[in-house]
Structure 1
Amino acid sequence: MVVGLCTIELRIPMSHSLKNKRGVLKSLINRIKNRFNVSIAEVAHHDDWKLATVGIVTISNNTIYVQQLLNKVIEYIEDNYLDVQLFNYTIEFL
C-alpha cells in the first residue's frame, strides 16, 4: 500500500479579502476532488489573503500510479488556474 501526499503552496495575487481567497480555493478544491478522486484540503495560511497551502492525498498499491496522479494534479493547477501561482510543492510517499 502506497500513500502519496502532495503539499502545494499557492499565491493568489488578485485576492483582496479572505472571502475572495476562499471562493477561489473552494472552486479549485472541488474541481480537483471531482476530476482526480483525491482528498484535498487547505492546511495552512488560513488567515492570509494572498497565500494558501493545500494538502492532497491519494492511496494505491502502485507507487508509479500515485506519482503520476499527483503530477497530473500539479499540471492541472498550473494550466487551468491562471489567477493562482503555484510557487512550491512537495510529494512524499508514506
Structure 2
Amino acid sequence: MAAVIAACRLVLHLPESQSLKDKRQVLRSLQSRLTDAYSVSVAETGSQDKWQSAELLVAYASSDSRHADEVLAKVIAFVESYHLPVELLDAETELIHAF
C-alpha cells in the first residue's frame, strides 16, 4: 500500500495583532479548528518572533494522493475565509510519496 504525506506551508499576516500574546491566541484558535475539522497536524515553523507574521506547516497522511490534495485545498479555503483577522499571503503544497 502506498503512503502519501501531504504538506502545506501557509504564510500569514495578522494585521490586528499588537503583541506575541495576541498572535499566539489567534494561532492557537486557528490550529485547533484545523486539527478538529480536518484531522491534520499543524506546527508554527517560522516568523515566531514577529507579532504580525506567522508561518504554519500543515501535514496530512493518507493512502490516496487525490484525497490528501483535497484535504489541503479545504484547509487553504478555510484559512482564506477564517473569521479572525488572518490574511493568507502564500500557500505552497507538496505531496510526498513514501514507501
Match of 2:59 among 53, 57, 60: 57
Moved over 6 A (4+): none
Q: Deviations over 1:8-41 (max 9, x none)?
A: 0000000000000000000000111011101001
Structure 1 counterpart of 2:40: 38
Per-residue deviation, 1:79: 1.2
Per-residue deviation, 1:60: 0.7
CA RMSD of aligned residues (A): 0.8
CA distance in 2: counterparts of 1:41 and 1:61, whole angstroms: 22
CA distance in 1: counterparts of 2:91 and 2:83, whole angstroms: 16
Per-residue deviation, 1:82: 4.6
Say how many residue pairs are matched. Answer: 94
Per-residue deviation, 1:93: 1.1
TM-score, structure 1 as length reference: 0.96
Same amino acid, percent of matched pairs:
34
Structure 2 counterpart of 1:20: 22
Per-residue deviation, 1:80: 2.2
CA distance in 2: counterparts of 1:3 and 1:29, whole angstroms: 19
CA distance in 2: counterparts of 1:27 and 1:50, whole angstroms: 16
The one-letter code of the counterpart of 2:7 is: L
Q: Which runs of 5+ in 2 are unaligned?
A: none
